[in-house]
Amino acid sequence: MSSDATTPVLRNCIRLPLPEDELLEVTAKAKDYAIMHGAAMRSKTAFSQDSLNFAPFVLVPSSFPRKEFEKAVALQPIINRLMHNVAHDEEFITTTLAETIKVDEFTANLFNIYRKVLAHGFTQRISLGMLRSDLMLESGCPELSPRALEDRKDGGQDAAAVGKGAGTAAAAGTGRKEKEEQKEEEEQKEHRETQLSRATKERERRATSTQSAYCCWKQVEINTIASGFGHLGPASKTIQRFVLSELGHADKLHNMPNNNALAGLCDGMVKAWDIYAKPKAVILFIIEDVSYNICDQRFHEFYIRETYPHIKVLRRTLTEVHREGKLGQAKELLLGSQEVAVIYFRAGYEPGHYHSQSEWDARYLMETSLAIKCPSIHYHLAGTKKVQQALAQPAVLERFINDPEEIKAVGKIFTGLYSLDDNEAGNATYEMALRTPERFVLKPQREGGGNNVYGVDIPDALKRMSRVERSAWILMDLIHPPLTKGYMVRPGGDMPPQIVDMVSELGIFGVVIGDAEHIVHNYQAGHMLRTKLSTANEGGVAAGLGALDSPYLIDSDDDEDLDQI
């Protein structure tokens, strides 16, 4: 996708290739190990409620720069707080999504629920956020290329034009006073400069060959609904730990960081359950009609039952909630006679989950209930791509974060994100995308993978839309992660597997619980790594393109094991 012959390669944790007999033996064993440890999914091609396939996985862990991993972990509580504050800022959400909901029916439906709940007041003021911040290493990170930064005379007109007059969501807020206009102008100028530096980055990177595999990372997206892999993240480490040990590299296991995602996320649900404080109330998982990624839901359920034997988990589709659900006297959500304390949405993030008005009615019923939702509707809206784009605009972070150091740290994780609203800035983005589409990815307000448009396909897609329709989308700089080389093991795949070029995406989980005034719990909760072929645009594991992986932490000055192939 975004790699070429100049893309840097991260060194492997062990020397590859493996001798063929050893590879065959360890791969066969690892497949069984995966199935028998729940690193598995239902087959889409031969579906059966009664059987599982192993989930695709990378045989040995992919390298990841230790410093960047630690930075991501340390930043997560700040991102949690940011998203919590964003979710509770009615004006920001309303202003930011104003254009989008005119043309995007799905977001408009979510927003309608939000509007109705706002009008009637929130029955439950506490929200449970179980977030996942997804990121990729940027091999052309300008921070590592001081030479490139000094020499940026000839490029950047495109993004400068976009920055010019780019209305920010914060600036679009109501009641802004005249005396603030000068400040706003300064911010715009600063913004233009930021955009300029982002836009020239790629050109400079190639001109000066300053790419590094030990680079900074950029946020791909932040998920506030159905953030999966709480089980499969740690399970990936379990498989790869087994494989490294089988191959005689137990001495390297200390470079695989602990991963307590499953416990962290489930404990978050139980903390919310405790706040609800009704010993008989249950935790409800909202599920798709068919759950292919079943292990990543059942293990949550099993963990809760095993760790907290008194808490019951129920699973229901939106359709079933519509049929069985009602509100009690105090607006408690009742499924039959069972009261629901916490609702964990593993479905409801895409239009296909709402077959009719019934499912929307079920969502609204739950939203107006006393149950603590993960996510509540405002959290869901805070996770839209449009909000992510607005957050990357200058001075917006100041609205949500007080500490200047934290603002700086969060500001650095954004790559170029551009509005396609029907205004001057949006039109400049449009022109820029037509001129240099290969630099970008075009994203609608959807989750779950397979919705984006990449590079050379962007002009046609944009030209098919009206100016107004474009505001349902955002444009984003493509991130250029370094490559890793390794074996990807898939059900029905080659035996032995071939060595392939891959790129990885790290997800850091966070849990945050609170209301508009107070945050009562806020912590980082483990991680997951997904790896895809470097030629694939997207790498959803459930979608069949990615593979389970886990990070092997390396330092750029390590030379003890320079195991390149």
Give yes or no for a contact between 11 and 252, defined as CB atoms under 8 angstroms apart: no
Shortest separation between residue 503's beta carbon and ligand ADP, angstroms: 8
Among 204, 339, 406, 505, binds ligand ADP (CB under 6 A): 505
- The binder of ligand ADP chosen from 447, 485, 507, 554 (CB under 6 A): 447
Cβ-count burial of 164 within 10 angstroms (0-12 exposed, 13-18 middle, 19+ buried)? middle
Length of the chain: 565
CB of 528 to ligand ADP, least distance (A): 12
Min separation Cβ 442 and Mg ion, Å: 15
Closest CA to 283 of 245, 317, 313, 328: 313
Among the listed residues 78, 131, 79, 85, the one whose alpha carbon sits nearest the alpha carbon of residue 514: 85
Least distance (Å) between residue 382 CB and Mg ion: 15
Residues 170-229 that bind ligand ADP (CB under 6 A): 220-221
Counting contacts by CB under 6 A, is residue 476 touching ligand ADP?
Answer: yes
Residue 478: CB minimum distance to ligand ADP, A: 4
Q: At its nearest, how many Å lie between ligand ADP and the CB of residue 499?
A: 21
The residue (of 112 and 451) whose beta carbon lies closer to ligand ADP is 451
Place of tokens 């390396």: 554
Looking at beta carbons only, is 23 or 215 nearer to ligand ADP? 215
Q: Least Å distance between CB 132 and ligand ADP?
A: 10
- HSE value, Cβ hemisphere, 13 Å, CA-based, for 7: 21
Residue whose tokens read 């920001």: 92
Rounded to 5 degrees, φ, ψ at 504 are -120, 155
- Please name the amino acid found at residue 516: A
- Cα 259-82-230 angle, rounded to 5 deg: 25
- Provide the minimum distance between the beta carbon of 7 and ligand ADP in the complex, in angstroms, as a whole number: 13
- Assess 452 for contact with ligand ADP (CB under 6 A): yes
* Shortest distance, position 85 Cβ to ligand ADP, whole Å: 22
Nearer to ligand ADP, 347 or 441 (CB): 441
Q: Dump the DSSP string for 154-196.
A: S--HHHHHHHTT---TTTTSTT--GGGHHHHHHHHHHHHHHHH
505 binds, among ligand ADP, Mg ion, none (CB under 5 to 8 A by kind): ligand ADP
* Residue choice 77, 167, 449, 459 for contact with ligand ADP (CB under 6 A): 449
Return phi, psi of residue 98, to 5°. Answer: -55, -45
Binders of Mg ion among residues 183 to 222 (CB under 5 A) are: 221
Position 324 contacts ligand ADP (CB under 6 A): no
Helical pair 404-411 and 66-87, crossing angle rounded to 10 deg: 110
- Pairing, β 40-41 against β 440-444: unpaired
Residue 436, interface with ligand ADP (CB under 6 A)? no
Residue 296 binds which entry of ligand ADP, Mg ion, none, CB below 5-8 Å type-dependent? none
Strand pairing of 551-554 and 62-65? Answer: parallel
Phi, then psi, of 65 in degrees rounded to 5: -60, 125
Considering the complex, state which of residue 123 and residue 451 has its C-beta at the smaller distance from ligand ADP. Answer: 451
Exactly one of 238, 451, 522, 556 binds ligand ADP (CB under 6 A); which one?
451
* Contact assessment for residue 533 and residue 500, using Cβ atoms and an 8 Å cutoff: yes
Structure tokens at 221: 């997206």
- Applying CB under 6 A, which part among 50-58, 234-242, 276-284, 438-446 lies near ligand ADP? 438-446
Query: If binding is defined by CB under 6 A, does position 500 make contact with ligand ADP?
Result: no
CB 440 within 8 A of CB 477: yes
- Of the candidate spans 77-85, 93-101, 158-166, 443-451, the one that interacts with ligand ADP by CB under 6 A turns out to be 443-451
What residue ranges bind ligand ADP (CB under 6 A)? 2, 134, 220-221, 441, 443, 446-449, 451-452, 476, 478-479, 505, 538-539
Which residues form the interface with Mg ion (CB under 5 A)?
221
